[in-house]
């Protein structure tokens, strides 16, 4: 602010404040000790840092008053108040507590104005101190904002490294150390969701998901891996339902959720399934969003995912073999008849209700209902993989009457 001709001359008051700088700082810290219980609990080194800040504040006030009188005062002068203390102090004292410290220091300074200000300059000095306190408050906000940005960027990098370790299948010790640095308490169960990133700064992408997760009471770790957003969910009993509430943080396209596992140590399994599902999801345009990786088993198998092929071969085809050959025969006849019960019954020389019962048994054993088009597709892929893979073993003995009937029909 440019000085005007009728602005009071404050040089005498400034000299007086400068001489009393040490006493003002000491009185301010003593007042903090009396009025702020949390201040009394601070370690000695941090209390000493606050004393340095208070002394720097008084010196900065003197410089600010002189610059204001000369018309050269700037906000940058106020920022220097906090340079006397290490950045670690910003992690020990929160912004609300900093405001309390500033308020206490200003109150002490105002009480001393009558003694420090030159005669006739009391009102001008009081007004200047109030304006300076506003500038210091803004400076404190800037310091904490910079600290938050730095911490946010570091957290984003650490989370990205954790996600990378998950995708690589690093040891549980590596995962545990990085998760602990982020404050992850390893809530159970854990699942991994993968979708497209919205783009932009990684820390902001993850922050959007974090805010949504906090609203629904789910713990998350997240990172941007290429153009993909990978999110680790903790304490979500239904990870697909929880991910649905986080969709605002994902970009366009499929969002795939891996299976739940007990802890972060096992999350690599969930991450691999989610990634395999994400790569294969384009083959199912009508897939829900989000979709469980287990619902994409046939697409994953066709895309070359070895785990999906193993599940379909062992848990579906293998289970049908163990249950008896008539179920495989019934499935073959059902598919050959185009999904028509009566056609399958005629081919098998059984009643349609028998076919219906056997198909229901297939659903109970495998988890895939043949009468549902989507499940029927998965079953056909499972049968194909099982018969192509020599490790599946030969089909069980077929019903003799069915075999004879088919031979007769072929003749």
193 phi and psi angles, rounded to 5 deg: -115, 140
Residue 103, pLDDT score = 76
Residue 297 CA to residue 74 CA, distance in Å, equals: 64
**Domain spanning 169-295 has what CATH number?**
3.30.70.2730
Looking at beta carbons, which pairs linking 282-285 to residues 24 or more positions away fall under 8 Å?
Answer: 282/254
Residue 170, pLDDT score = 61
Q: Give 185's Cβ-side CA count (13 Å radius).
A: 5
329 phi and psi angles, rounded to 5 deg: -60, -45
Contact 124, 178 (CB under 8 A): no
Contact 336, 347 (CB under 8 A): yes
Please give the DSSP secondary-structure letter assigned to residue 322. H
* Helix, strand, coil distribution of the chain in percent, nearest 5: 70, 5, 25
Domain boundaries, the chain: 11-149, 169-295, 306-410
DSSP assignment of 132-168 equals: HHHHHHHHHHHHHHHHHHHHHHHHHHHHHHHHHHHHH
Q: Is 125 helix (H, G, I), strand (E, B) or coil?
A: helix
DSSP assignment of 15-75 equals: HHHHHTHHHHHHHHHHHHHHH-HHHHTS-HHHHHHHHHHHHHHHHHHHHHHHHHHHT---H
* CATH top-level class of 306-410: mainly alpha
Please determine, for residue 49, whether its predicted confidence score (pLDDT) is greater than 70: yes
Residue 52, pLDDT score = 75
pLDDT in tens, 338-387: 999 999 999 999 999 999 999 999 999 999 999 999 999 999 999 999 99
pLDDT in tens, 324-350: 879 999 999 999 999 999 999 999 999
How confident is the model over 205-234, as a mean pLDDT?
86
Strand partners, 194: 230, 256
Q: How far is CA 198 from the centre of its chain?
A: 14
How confident is the model over 260-265, as a mean pLDDT?
86
Residue 34, pLDDT score = 87
Residue 404, pLDDT score = 34
Strand partners, 193: 231, 257
Residue 84, pLDDT score = 52
Residue 193 CA to residue 190 CA, distance in Å, equals: 10
DSSP run (H or E) holding 348: helix 341-348
The CA–CA distances, whole Å, from 42 to 83, 86, 147, 284 equal: 20, 15, 20, 59
How confident is the model over 3-9, as a mean pLDDT?
45
Nearest to 251 by CA among 226, 217, 274, 215: 226
196 phi and psi angles, rounded to 5 deg: -80, 140
pLDDT in tens, 121-139: 778 888 877 777 777 777 7
How confident is the model over 21-42, as a mean pLDDT?
84
What is the average pLDDT score of the chain?
A: 79
Residue 342 CA to residue 34 CA, distance in Å, equals: 90
């Amino acid at each position: 602010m440019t000085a005007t001709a009728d602005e009071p001359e404050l040089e005498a008051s400034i000299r007086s404040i400068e001489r009393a700088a040490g006493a003002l700082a000491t009185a301010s810290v003593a007042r903090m000790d009396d009025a702020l219980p949390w201040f009394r609990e601070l370690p000695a080194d941090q209390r000493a840092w606050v004393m340095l800040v208070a002394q720097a504040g008084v010196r900065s006030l003197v410089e600010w008053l002189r610059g204001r009188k000369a018309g050269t005062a700037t906000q940058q002068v106020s920022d220097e108040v906090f340079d006397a203390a290490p950045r670690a102090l910003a992690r020990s004292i929160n912004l609300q507590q900093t405001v309390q410290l500033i308020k206490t220091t200003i109150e002490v300074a105002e009480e001393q104005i009558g003694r420090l200000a030159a005669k006739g300059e009391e009102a001008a000095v009081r007004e200047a101190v109030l304006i300076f306190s506003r500038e210091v408050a803004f400076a404190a906000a800037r310091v904490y904002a910079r600290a938050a940005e730095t911490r946010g960027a570091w957290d984003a990098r650490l989370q990205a490294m954790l996600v990378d370790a998950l995708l690589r299948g690093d040891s549980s010790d590596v995962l545990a150390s990085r998760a602990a640095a982020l404050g992850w308490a390893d809530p159970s169960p854990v699942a991994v969701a993968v979708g497209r990133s919205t783009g932009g700064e990684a820390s902001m992408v993850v922050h959007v998901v974090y805010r949504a997760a906090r609203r629904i009471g789910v713990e998350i770790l997240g990172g941007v891996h290429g153009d993909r957003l990978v999110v680790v969910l903790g304490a979500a009993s239904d990870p697909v339902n929880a991910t649905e509430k986080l969709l605002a943080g994902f970009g366009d396209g499929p969002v795939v959720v891996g299976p739940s596992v007990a802890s972060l140590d096992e999350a690599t399994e969930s991450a691999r399934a989610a990634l395999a599902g994400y790569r294969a999801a384009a083959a199912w345009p009508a897939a829900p969003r989000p979709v469980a990786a287990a619902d994409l088993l046939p697409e994953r198998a066709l895309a070359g995912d070895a785990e999906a092929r193993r599940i379909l071969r062992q848990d579906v085809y293998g289970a049908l073999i163990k249950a008896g050959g008539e179920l495989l025969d019934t499935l073959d006849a059902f598919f050959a008849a185009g999904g028509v019960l009566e056609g399958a019954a005629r081919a098998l020389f059984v009643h349609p209700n028998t076919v219906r019962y056997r198909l229901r048994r297939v659903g109970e054993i495998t988890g895939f209902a043949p009468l549902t088009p989507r499940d029927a597709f998965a079953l056909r892929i499972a049968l194909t993989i099982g018969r192509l893979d020599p490790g599946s073993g030969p089909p069980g003995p077929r019903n003799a009457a069915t075999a004879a009937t088919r031979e007769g029909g072929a003749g």
